[in-house]
């Protein structure tokens, strides 16, 4: 099932309207309705443009404009062009005006500004999940911190912990038989941190992981000789990229996270003219 698009018109980022539209669409299994965000609307000509797009596509407009003048202008434009427009904020603002006895400020994005730290953490978590385990290497340059290391060294839990503190983190697995992504050496090296761990501890982690996967006996994944070669390969990658290195052996995740952040912040401060 497909349908004309829904245009989310907002004076801010459009996140609230988009979320509500997606919540409604989730009730229609199999439906495919394109959602287009029209953010930061401040001028009448922006309204005229989106109304024209809705006319041409047969779409509808969902808006969360807190500016009363813009909201009235959009209502008038959609009425003139016979475009369906759904006002998600106007009736609520009108009701609150009546019961509170004062007019709304009418400032777009105010809710987000008041909760900026919260939204930053949510964005960081979403970014980190999306860039876990080497996914989207072409976007490594968008990460605030990049963590690299061999399997079971703790890249994912450390990345996720850092994201809850507001850092956008990507992590890159290092496998001896596979060349690291070229982007790892093209991005700002000051933001890359390699993880190391005592080989005996790493072997124990891998044996537990292997048991969960049903791997019986000694395998290349847990073999000590192969493991040493892997860690040596990772060290060579760290030297090549001139990356900072954090040893996580016997450390709580909070301590490792602090060390990672300390390395990145210090290197950025010491060499402000380098990198991108």
CATH code at 25? 3.40.50
- Is 1 among the domain residues? no
DSSP annotation of 42 reads: -
Query: Based on the domain organization, do 70 and 80 belong to the same domain?
Result: yes
Alpha carbons 141 and 138: distance in angstroms, whole number:
7
Write out the chain's pLDDT in tens, 276 residues: 568 999 999 998 888 899 899 999 989 888 889 999 999 999 999 999 999 999 999 999 999 998 889 999 999 999 999 999 999 988 888 888 889 888 887 777 665 665 667 778 888 999 999 999 999 999 999 999 999 999 889 999 999 999 999 999 999 999 988 999 999 999 999 999 999 998 888 888 887 776 666 665 566 666 778 888 899 999 999 999 999 999 999 999 999 999 999 999 999 998 776 664
Side-chain-side CA neighbours of 14 within 13 Å: the count stands at 18
Asked which of 114, 130, 158 is the last residue of a domain, the reply is: 114
Query: Based on the domain organization, do 66 and 150 belong to the same domain?
Result: no
Query: Based on the domain organization, do 131 and 263 belong to the same domain?
Result: yes
- Is 136 among the domain residues? yes
- Is 35 among the domain residues? yes
Looking at 101-242, list the stretches that DSSP marks H as alpha helix, in order from N- to C-terminal side. Answer: 110-114, 116-130, 155-164, 199-212, 224-241
Residue 73, classified by CB atoms within 10 Å of its CB into exposed (0-12), middle (13-18) or buried (19+), is middle
- Is 101 among the domain residues? yes
CA distances to 88, 157, 188, 237 from 275, rounded to whole Å, are 44, 27, 4, 18
- Is 126 among the domain residues? yes
Cβ atoms of residues 53 and 78 within 8 Å: no
Query: Based on the domain organization, do 157 and 250 belong to the same domain?
Result: yes
pLDDT value for 81: 95
pTM attached to this predicted model: 0.64
Looking at 6-109, list the stretches that DSSP marks H as alpha helix, in order from N- to C-terminal side. Answer: 15-25, 44-57, 68-80, 90-100
Q: Which two tokens stand for residue 14?
A: 């459009």
The total number of structural domains that make up the chain: 2
pLDDT value for 114: 59
Q: Which of 45, 39, 103, 83 lies closest to 65 in space, CA to CA?
A: 39
pLDDT value for 215: 62
Alpha carbons 2 and 107: distance in angstroms, whole number:
35
pLDDT value for 217: 58
- Is 157 among the domain residues? yes
Dihedral over alpha carbons 131, 132, 137, 142 (to 10 degrees): 40
Query: Based on the domain organization, do 151 and 221 belong to the same domain?
Result: yes
Query: Based on the domain organization, do 136 and 249 belong to the same domain?
Result: yes
Domain that residue 173 falls in: 116-270
pLDDT value for 219: 62
Query: Based on the domain organization, do 193 and 110 belong to the same domain?
Result: no
pLDDT value for 156: 95
Query: Based on the domain organization, do 133 and 35 belong to the same domain?
Result: no
Cβ atoms of residues 11 and 105 within 8 Å: no
Query: Based on the domain organization, do 203 and 134 belong to the same domain?
Result: yes
- Is 275 among the domain residues? no
Query: Based on the domain organization, do 123 and 238 belong to the same domain?
Result: yes
As a whole number of Å, the CA-based R_g of the chain is 25
- Is 276 among the domain residues? no
Asked which of 61, 89, 114 is the last residue of a domain, the reply is: 114
Query: Based on the domain organization, do 146 and 261 belong to the same domain?
Result: yes
Asked which of 57, 85, 114 is the last residue of a domain, the reply is: 114
Query: Based on the domain organization, do 67 and 139 belong to the same domain?
Result: no
Q: Which two tokens stand for residue 198?
A: 């005592």
């Amino acid at each position: 099932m497909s349908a004309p698009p829904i245009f989310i018109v907002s004076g801010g980022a459009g996140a609230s309207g988009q979320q509500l539209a997606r919540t409604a669409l989730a009730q229609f299994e199999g439906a495919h309705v394109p959602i287009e965000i029209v953010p930061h609307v401040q001028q009448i000509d922006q309204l005229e443009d989106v109304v024209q797009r809705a006319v041409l596509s047969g779409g509808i407009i969902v808006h969360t404009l807190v500016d009363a003048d813009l909201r009235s202008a959009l209502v008038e434009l959609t009425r003139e062009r016979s475009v369906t427009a759904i006002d998600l904020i106007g009736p609520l603002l009108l009701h609150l005006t009546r019961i509170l006895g004062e007019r709304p400020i009418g400032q777009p994005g105010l809710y987000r500004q008041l909760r900026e730290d919260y939204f930053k953490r949510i964005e960081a978590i979403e970014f980190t999940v999306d860039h876990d385990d080497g996914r989207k290497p072409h976007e490594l340059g968008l990460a605030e911190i990049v963590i690299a290391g061999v399997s079971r060294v703790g890249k994912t839990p450390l990345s996720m912990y850092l994201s809850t503190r507001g850092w956008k983190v990507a992590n890159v697995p290092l496998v001896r038989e596979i060349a690291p992504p070229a982007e790892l050496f093209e991005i700002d090296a000051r933001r890359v941190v390699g993880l190391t761990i005592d080989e005996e501890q790493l072997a124990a982690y891998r044996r537990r992981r292997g048991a969960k996967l049903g791997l019986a006996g000694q395998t290349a994944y847990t073999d000590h000789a192969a493991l040493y070669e892997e860690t040596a390969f990772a060290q060579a990658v760290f030297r090549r990229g001139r990356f900072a290195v954090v040893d996580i052996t016997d450390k709580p995740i909070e301590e490792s996270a602090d060390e990672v952040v300390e390395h990145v912040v210090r290197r950025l401060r010491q060499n402000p003219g380098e990198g991108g």
